[in-house]
Chains A and B, each alone.
Chain A
Amino acid sequence: MPEGKYCFRRPLQTEEDILHLLSDTRGTNYYKEMEELEVDTADLKKRLDATCKSRIRTWLDICARCGLCADSCFLYRVNDRAPEQVPSYKVQTTLGEIVRKDGNVDTKFMLHAMEVCWSRCTCCSRCAQYCPHGIDMGQMISYTRGLLYSQGFVPWELKIGSGMHRVYRAQMDVTEEDWVETCEWMAEENEEEYPGLTIPVDVEDADIMYTCNAREPKHYPEDVAEAAILFHIAGENWTVPSNGWEQTALCMFAGDWEACKMQVQNVYDAIERLRPKRVVGTECGHAHRASVIEGPYWCGRPDGKPPAPYIHYVEWVAEALRTGKLKIDPAKRIKEPVTLQDSCNYVRNYGLAEVTREIISYIVEPGYFVEMAPNKEYNYCCGGGGGFNGVGRYRAQRNKALKTKRDQILATGCKLVIAPCHNCWDAIRDLEEEFEIGIRWTFLKPLLIKMVEIPEHLRPEQEEE
């Protein structure tokens, strides 16, 4: 069968497409049809010729299969050191094969490659730090995902996710109207406690434009409210765009590079339209990678930078604490053992490890912060990165992968984990659900709101008594 009713090569382009695929509960038919989905080898070859350039080819070539990357991979370690989990093996048997065979691969191979690329690698790139040649296996797997996606071999949830970005320019069905409405709602819900609180939409030339994750307006708009409250307390002149507010890119996990460009360009258009001095993104790792690190290249920006300086939420928080825009009440600092999850995407791959620790120095009573081991750029992936968290087909593998983080957290003895990344936050939530180790987990925003001092002029009118 060339292409099926649910499983086909072309991306989801319309709301109807999305609903149609969603109606195939759990992707049962989708995966069944995938077993018959033919590989368009001519197209794959064409794509290889066009995109597989010297860097990837050199890496494939110089990889000595020495296995030094093996122990760096948490999936290798957590899966009883199975040789199939050695990063170089994972790449050589997928991308390596495709390149060596010049795209001449069959359906069975593609199914196997899909399983490897989405259930045996989270693209955390920890291995890249241990390779004597500096080969980044995470990048290679990510590239392979793109090849697989173009042929229709992608997990069901990610096909839908990247379709969402194409249709809504958001990872979920949140329309511009829903978003603006949610902003109004959240301002309304909190204006009594924080008089004067607003969520200004589409203000031009503001100091800050804020972007977030569609799950916030969709499921927990408290997060949007918390961001607003903290900007308000810090006295920032800020805004959100009515369009271009969604910072994430599930399409990056899916390997749908075309959608990645569409998604990020939408944010950049908002930046160009509103001309903020800079942009602050929410507590999300992959969103930062998409919009700040990789996005400029997807969009072909010659300087490799977004249209305005684009910082991660932790950078804004650290700066606000450093400059005194946000002041922590010392009596309210965290006085229990607490640990910190380093997000691969903005710590290992963007170098913000010291920034988060600077925040810790303000909000945790000295002596209570416990580092995970290893940490910072050597920290392990939460266990659910790169799209792993959301894929039902690989749930069992994902749950097993969570053991690494579980054991790291247990070793700290902490019951509180700060996780300033949506994906890490989800994985830690899931590991508590799975293993019940009795921990709590949190973003930075709710913690800060509990301990920040509210300037006199922003407090609600004093009640009698």
Chain B
Amino acid sequence: MFQRILFATSGSPASDDAARVAFDLASRYGATLELLHVTGVPTRAYSQVVKDVRTGEEVSVDENYLSCIGDELRSYYEKHLAACTAPCTVSIVTGHPHREILRQARNSGTDLIVMGASTKGEEGKFYRRGMAGSTLQRVAKAARCPVLSVHRPHASYWGGIGSIVFATDFSKPAESAFAFASKVARELDAELHIFHTLDIEKGGMGRDMDQDEIEGRLIEARKRMHATYGARMPEDFKKWQIEVWEGTPYVEIVKFARERLADLIVVAHHASDPDLEAARIGSTMEQVILRANCPVVSVNHPDKV
């Protein structure tokens, strides 16, 4: 199902949960695993000098430096690497993290990127480029393949993926997310919960919707989901169901996933908001990632689904 997984790691505790998932997925599904660590961010203008992301020191990049960092990373993941049955490689590069992750994914033909959700407090100010949005947000926006991230420790995952929540807002990226979610569910024989939230704040356009209107819209949404997704489910795959709740999308998605003991949440990434800063704060995707206690996959493009 996954042939080439790219695990973009900070090589620090912020990526520990993502590491568990990345190594486990690779072993479980027989994919190759590529560990990528962006170690230094270009600084001093045009010079070849980079700022080491962990120490904050300026260093000149050479083979020696890169191989030292590579050794450190290998020892950090020593146990994982020893236990992993999949072929693993380690790449150490310099550059702006989101850009280098995207570059590597493109070059390697990656079909799943796994990354930690946040290195806040670790990455400091070195990543700043006067450009808004987190590394994850930027990667999720542009990656041609699904991007999986993990923020909170999760226990339910150890049995593999048995329950998937696909949260839809009927957007175009949601089409790609659906394609991915349904493919994973069928291949892993997992339950697929197709879920939509009626956004009561946005839906009311600034006024409170009365209960009849909410209920009417819920019925409407259910119909639409049956037509949009239900109709496309193969005959032989029965483990899917549709649910619509009203509320604030990210809250409802997280609650719903908890109730269905989800091992994986699949959401569409929203590229429509040109202001990444606003998107970062308000994005359903990022909120879900921060709050859910299972891995979250964001899908934006149909290419590698």
Which residues of A does B touch, CB under 8 Å? 22-23, 25-26, 157, 160-161, 171-172, 185, 189, 192-193, 215, 218-222, 248, 250, 384, 389-392, 395, 422-423, 425-426, 429, 432-433, 440-442, 446, 449-450, 463-465
Contact = CB atoms under 8 A, between A and B. Distances in A.
A14 to B, nearest CB: 17
B207 interface: no
B171 A446 contact: no
B198 to A, nearest CB: 13
Nearest to A423: B45
Interface string B22-64: 0000000000000000000010111111000000001110100
B140 to A, nearest CB: 13
Contacts of B44: 157, 389-392, 395
B240 interface: no
Closest 6 CB pairs of A and B: A389-B45, A390-B45, A390-B47, A157-B47, A25-B60, A426-B45
Contacts of A384: 45
Given A160-B47, A171-B46, 8 more contacts: A157-B46, A192-B271, A192-B301, A219-B42, A222-B131, A392-B44, A426-B45, A429-B130
Interface in B125-182: 125, 128-131, 142, 170-172
A446 B60 contact: no
A193 B129 CA distance: 23
A92 to B, nearest CB: 29
A449 B274 contact: yes
Nearest to A442: B130
Contacts of A23: 62
18 contacts: A22-B62, A25-B62, A160-B47, A185-B103, A192-B301, A219-B99, A221-B99, A248-B46, A389-B44, A390-B46, A392-B49, A423-B45, A426-B45, A433-B128, A440-B130, A441-B130, A446-B131, A464-B170
Interface string B65-97: 000000000000000000000000000000110
Contacts of B274: 449-450
B47 A392 contact: yes
B72 to A, nearest CB: 18
B225 to A, nearest CB: 13
Nearest to B130: A441
B187 interface: no
B255 interface: no
Interface of B: 42, 44-49, 58-60, 62, 95-96, 99, 102-103, 106, 125, 128-131, 142, 170-172, 271, 274-275, 301
A22 B96 contact: no
Contact of B46 (A172, A193, A222, A442): A172
A213 to B, nearest CB: 9
A87 to B, nearest CB: 24
B125 A220 contact: no
A18 B84 CA distance: 40
A161 B48 CA distance: 9
Contacts of A219: 42, 95-96, 99
Nearest to A450: B274
B46 A465 contact: no
A86 B94 CA distance: 40
Contacts of B46: 157, 161, 171-172, 215, 248, 250, 389-390
A22 B48 contact: yes
A22 B106 CA distance: 28
A185 B106 contact: yes
Q: Among B60, B96, B125, find the residue whose CB has the most chain A CB atoms closer than 10 A.
A: B60
Contacts of B271: 192-193
A442 B44 CA distance: 17
Contact of B129 (A157, A220, A423, A464): A220
A160 B48 contact: yes
B1 to A, nearest CB: 24
Given A22-B48, A157-B46, A463-B171, A429 B62 contact: no
Nearest to B277: A440
A189 B102 CA distance: 10
A442 B301 CA distance: 28
B106 A157 contact: no
Contacts of A26: 49, 60
B58 to A, nearest CB: 7
Nearest to B42: A219
A333 to B, nearest CB: 14
A442 B142 CA distance: 21
A425 B156 CA distance: 47
Contacts of B131: 222, 446
A227 to B, nearest CB: 15
Contacts of B58: 392
